[in-house]
Amino acid sequence: MKRLLLAVAALFTVVALAGAVGLPDLAGAQDSPEGDTITVTGIGSIEAVPNEAQMSFGVETRAPTAKAAVAANADAMRKILNALRQARGREIATQWVSVYPVTNDTGAVDGYAASNSVSATSDVDDAAALIDAAAEAGANQISGPGLSSSNAEALYRQALGKAVAEARARAEVLAKAAGRSLGEITSISEGTAATPYPYAERAALDAASTPIVPGEQETMASITVTFSLRS
């Protein structure tokens, strides 16, 4: 009985000492409030003259039967393909082939039409010659050119770098106005790339040389950045 009383007394003594010294505040140790931040958006752009042209070339033929229309169309397209290759066209690929009946005013079938279209890419400097060569070979459906830069990814990365620099410059102005200084980047997210592709004005196919004016394209990038703020 004496041993039990002594053990209880010792336990109360330990609890009293712990209360006097103070146990660690576990709740306080886990509490780490987030510091002040500032979020800004930056936009960067790069202008460059496109150096590639993408175009479509097609031919439509008509004949009394579907078989005859397809055969005539195949011969016509072979001539166009040879002309495109000789005019330094590349990445030539078939887009579609179609055959359909042609009706007259009464609605009766009056023959068949076959159509074939291919796409091709060339340097901008060769685009006019490519159009002229295709038209001379018999192409009666021509569209484009769509203009682009072969180094589009490199241009976008440059625009992205400018966007980050602009975001930092904006954040520094805002932080200074608030009497604070800019800290580290806590988060950054990339927006959607915007690359306009202007189309050259279509010229008459019977011109001596089809004019192609590439102009300039603007490659844009946007980012959203969050910075920490210092006192």
According to DSSP, the residues that pair with 64 across neighbouring strands are none
The pLDDT of 13-35, averaged and rounded, is 41
Whole-model pTM over 0.75: no
**Three-state secondary structure call for residue 212:** coil
Domain containing residue 105: CATH number? 3.30.70.2970
Alpha-carbon gap, residue 142 to 58, rounded angstroms: 6
Token pair recorded at residue 153: 């990814």
* pLDDT per position as a tens digit, 185-225: 999 999 876 655 453 433 333 444 677 778 888 899 999 99
Structural domain ending residue among the three candidates 148, 183, 215: 148
pLDDT in tens, 60-76: 999 999 999 999 999 99
Domain-embedded: residue 27: no
Amino acid at 23: L
- Whether residues 138 and 208 share a domain: the answer is no
Domain's final residue, options 114, 148, 182? 148
Given 130, 148, 166, which residue is the final one in a domain?
148
pLDDT tens by residue, 142-183: 998 899 999 999 999 999 999 999 999 999 999 999 999 999
